[in-house]
Amino acid sequence: MKIYPVILSGGSGTRLWPLSRAVLPKQLLPLVGDKTMLQETALRVQSLPQDAGQIMPPLVVCGNEHRFMVAEQLREIKLAPLGILLEPVGRNTAPAVAVAAQYLLGIDPEALMLVLPADHVIADVAAFHQVIAEAALLAQEGALATFGIVPTGPETGYGYIRGGASVAPGRGACRVERFVEKPDLATALSFLVEGHYFWNSGMFLFRAGCYLDELGQFQPAMRDACVTAVRAGHRDLDFCRLDEQAFTGCASDSIDYAVMEHTAHAVVLPAAIGWSDVGSWSALKAVQTGDADGNVVRGDVYLDGVSNCLVRAEHRMVAVLGVQDLVVVETDDAVLVAHKDQVQRVKQVVDHLKQQGRTEHVQHRKVYRPWGSYEGIDLGERFQVKRITVNPGGKLSLQMHHHRAEHWVVVSGTASVTCGETVTLLTENESTYIPIGMTHRLENPGKLPLHLIEVQSGSYLGEDDIVRLEDVYQRT
């Protein structure tokens, strides 16, 4: 029995702003431990005991803008993915799982799909493995299994699933009777008292073919669009690009709405696995162990007379004095201070930034690229200063700019600089000048990271003033 983990990594995580942003969302961040949430998700299932089924390498579904970070993070944990499917646009979970199912059917007609969001925390991995093994047995018989989290309180931030008749006596698995939207507090309390309700985890296990069959019954146009998107897709380096026209024309819907609320084959397995979707700063605090005063701290932080706070310092020293029940998050270009009971209002900040045409909700000052990263240091009228890091073997595109010239100063490492027809090797404390309109390229031929300072000058300094003439990463 082969189980194929399908990791959905398409979310934006706006409720964890200012740390999580569109270009670097929460699943690509190390929120709880030293590894990112994507890495934790991938590793969590690779340790499944062999008697529960043979776990195959993961198949990841993500947005085009995250593709190089996803690939690099999997490389860091020495895990080669089965594939990385690139969505040209977000279309929610039903189409994302459908393209994964179609992709898997081309590899294994009997494939069992274990669908996992990339941004969840699971504390009890052994219990998680046990419920996966139970779900796999049911999925082999044609069930569409979902994991219902055993509630630990009257949570109003989760959807619920009501279980019905038992399908596996002694194991707790039962038919899905209905799905319930996020309830108010009184309704959530009544669910706890009744005892047949579970939190909707958004995790599933079923045969790829069974899922597509059910999707075809209830959403035939969606199924056809997703099948076409895979069949008409093409390889791009190590990625699979879905056909843009077919996938963009697909309706947007969740698995619950598109399939699980309608199918007669839905079953729910109770899962007491220490689960959280880390949907807010208060939820992130809840899954971490605090100090004697209930504080959860990360980074260079000083506390005095503080209790029950989450304080996270990413770049600077943060001092917090004489307060309680606060969330304080510092990044390179924004600081959030909120009462722990008001953290859901973070989305209003993100909406405000969008309306104002600002960029603090899109990316950090440090921006990752497939060759390394760059970070804005200073910006003024007709000039901009950046710190650039090029990984060993990294190579920027052969490019030119219509509106700016560039000065490069090597801080450490070795730089191979192409400027017009001339190729120059620069080392520490050496510099070069790239005139406006000159074709150029920067490479790191060494075995250590290359660090340099770039000073741009000109009438326009936007990132869209890049004309790529050649690119090993095949970016347009």
For residues 206 and 116, the answer to whether their CB atoms sit within 8 Å is no
Instruction: Give the count of beta carbons closer than 10 Å to the beta carbon of residue 1.
Output: 13
At 50 the pLDDT is: 79
Please list the residues that pair with 146 across neighbouring strands.
Answer: 204, 268
CB proximity list for 32: less than 8 A, separation 6 or greater: 40, 121, 278, 284, 287, 288
At 91 the pLDDT is: 95
Distance of alpha carbon 248 from alpha carbon 242, whole angstroms: 10
Report in angstroms the alpha-carbon separations of 293 from 10, 169, 197, 325, 343.
Answer: 36, 45, 34, 11, 20
Instruction: Give the count of beta carbons closer than 10 Å to the beta carbon of residue 194.
Output: 9
- pLDDT tens, the chain, 476 aa long: 899 999 999 887 789 999 999 999 999 999 998 999 999 999 999 988 877 779 999 999 999 999 999 999 999 999 999 999 999 999 999 999 999 999 999 999 999 999 999 999 999 999 999 999 999 999 999 999 999 999 999 988 899 999 999 986 656 899 999 999 999 999 999 999 998 999 999 999 999 999 999 999 999 999 999 999 999 999 988 899 999 999 999 999 999 999 999 999 999 999 999 999 999 999 999 999 999 999 999 999 999 999 999 999 999 999 999 999 999 999 999 999 999 999 999 999 999 999 999 999 999 999 999 999 999 999 899 999 999 999 999 999 999 999 999 999 999 999 999 999 999 999 999 999 999 999 999 999 999 999 999 999 999 998 889 999 999 998 86
Please list the residues that pair with 298 across neighbouring strands.
Answer: 312
Distance of alpha carbon 472 from alpha carbon 247, whole angstroms: 26
Distance of alpha carbon 344 from alpha carbon 279, whole angstroms: 9
Go through the domains of the chain in sequence order and give each one's CATH number: 2-276 (3.90.550.10), 291-350 (no CATH), 366-470 (2.60.120.10)
Report in angstroms the alpha-carbon separations of 172 from 36, 166, 466.
Answer: 33, 7, 58
- Residue owning tokens 């579970």: 198
At 170 the pLDDT is: 59
Residue 281 backbone phi and psi in degrees, to 5:
-65, -35
Total length of the chain: 476
* Exposed / middle / buried, residue 464 (Cβ in 10 Å: 0-12, 13-18, 19+): exposed
Instruction: Give the count of beta carbons closer than 10 Å to the beta carbon of residue 463.
Output: 7
